[in-house]
């Protein structure tokens, strides 16, 4: 199977799986991106993060 | 570190890939925080057929229709924040090792660095949170990042960071005791992860 055939069968499979999100939802979800492309700076390592989730977890894990 | 990647034109993507990116984005938004009234209103218009994905969409629409934002917020907090901890811990590291911030997070961070992707400053969770991984998949598919957005690149990210645990997490969400609105979110996510795994295997 060549690449074009493979691509076509993949698209057909996805269509049959009924993957579709109405435009109303697509608009509603747009402005909330969690990740972004790195600009010019090198990504800095942030190490272990102190967040609400991790704090709660560590609290619960304490003896 | 010099950024040597060439600036590329935004990738033109076909309808199926755009729908996949939107589905990842939707799951990312639903799992990153409680839904706004506007989002609930939009979700109420979701339609579906008798496929697993379609029937999960219909159930989600029906629940979005009758869920108030404050109820969804309470449910989100019970599921993911909690008094001591939420019912679920939606992190790759936790699902794969039983602990937070373990090797799966380190692996993800080096992959993201290699791909030139970093989390926004205002995102406080570790990057292996399911919502962040969904949004990164959406971004890779849509060509928002400088890294290769082709199918092989998408598959590599999916296989490395989602394939081993995301369907399991969504199954847990589906069965979570405090979930009502989030039950069909779990079904939708589980069905979508199965479709993705099957499609990548074609």
**Structure token pair of residue B148:** 């290769």
Task: Tell me the average pLDDT across A6-32.
Answer: 73
Domain count, chain B: 1
Residue B66 lies in a domain: yes
Output the pLDDT for position B107. Answer: 97
The SS3 call for residue A37 is strand
Domain, as residue range, for B55: 21-201
Of B38, B89, B120, the CB nearest to A35: B120
The answer to ipTM > 0.85 is no
Mean pLDDT of all residues belonging to chain B: 90
Q: Copy the structure tokens of residue B50.
A: 């008798």
Does residue B51 form part of some domain? yes
CATH number at B27 reads 1.10.3480.10
Give residues with Cβ within 8 angstroms of B189, minimum separation 6: B27, B166, B167, B169, B170, B173
Contact B16 A36 (CB under 8 A): no
Q: Is the pLDDT of residue A42 over 50?
A: no
Chain segment B134-173, per-residue pLDDT in tens: 999 999 999 998 888 899 999 999 999 999 999 999 999 9
Please tell me which of the candidates B51, B146, B199 has its beta carbon nearest to residue A37.
B146
Which percentage of chain B shows pLDDT scores above 70?
A: 95
B46 domain-assigned: yes
pLDDT score for B146: 83
- Structural domain contains residue B180: yes
d(CA A15, CA B20): 10
Assess if residue B98 is contained within a domain. yes
- Mean per-residue pLDDT of chain A: 64
pLDDT of residue B1: 38
Report yes or no on B86 lying in a domain: yes
Give how far A55 is from chain B: nearest CA, Å: 9
Does the beta-carbon distance from B126 to A54 stay under 8 Å? yes
Q: Does A45 touch chain B (CB under 8 A)?
A: yes
pLDDT one-digit tens code per residue, B53-82: 989 999 999 999 999 999 999 999 999 998
Mutate to test the interface with A, among B5, B7, B57 (most CBs of A within 10 A): B57
B190 within some domain: yes
**Rounded CA gap, B123 and B191, in Å?**
27
Q: What residues have CB less than 8 Å from B144, skipping those under 6 apart?
A: A33, A37, B138
With CB atoms and an 8 Å threshold, state whether B125 touches A53. yes
- Choose the closest CB to A18 out of B43, B51, B144: B51
Residue from B13, B19, B109, B121 to probe the interface with A (highest A Cβ count within 10 Å)? B19
Residue B8 placed within a domain: no
Question: Higher model confidence: residue B96 or residue B120?
Answer: B96
Q: What is the rounded CA–CA span in Å between residue B36 and residue B68?
A: 9
The model's confidence at residue B122, banded by pLDDT at 50, 70 and 90, is confident
Instruction: Please give, rounded to a whole number of angstroms, the shortest distance from the CA of B68 to a CA of chain A.
Output: 16
Name the minimum distance, in Å, from the CA of A6 to any CA of chain B. 7
């Amino acid at each position: 199977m060549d690449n074009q055939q493979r691509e076509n069968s993949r698209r057909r499979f996805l269509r049959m799986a009924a993957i579709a999100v109405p435009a109303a939802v697509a608009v509603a979800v747009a402005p909330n991106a969690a990740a972004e492309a790195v600009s010019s700076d090198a990504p800095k390592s942030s190490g272990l993060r102190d967040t609400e989730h991790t704090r709660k977890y560590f609290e619960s894990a304490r003896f | 570190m010099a950024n040597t990647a060439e600036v590329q034109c935004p990738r033109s993507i076909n309808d199926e890939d755009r729908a996949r990116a939107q589905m990842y984005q939707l799951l990312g938004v639903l799992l990153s925080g409680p839904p706004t009234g506007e989002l609930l209103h939009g979700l109420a218009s979701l339609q579906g057929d008798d496929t697993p994905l379609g029937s999960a969409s219909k159930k989600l629409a029906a629940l979005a229709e009758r869920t108030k934002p404050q109820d969804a917020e309470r449910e989100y907090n019970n599921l993911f924040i909690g008094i001591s901890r939420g019912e679920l811990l939606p992190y790759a590291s936790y699902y794969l090792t039983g602990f937070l911030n373990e090797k799966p997070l380190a692996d993800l961070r080096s992959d993201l660095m290699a791909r030139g992707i970093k989390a926004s400053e205002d995102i406080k969770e570790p990057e292996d949170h399911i919502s962040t991984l969904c949004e990164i998949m959406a971004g890779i598919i849509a060509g928002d990042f400088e890294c290769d957005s082709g199918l092989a690149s998408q598959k590599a990210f999916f296989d490395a960071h989602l394939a081993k645990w995301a369907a399991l997490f969504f199954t847990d969400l589906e069965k979570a005791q405090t979930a009502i609105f989030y039950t069909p979110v779990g079904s939708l996510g589980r069905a979508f992860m199965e479709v993705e795994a099957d499609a990548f295997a074609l």
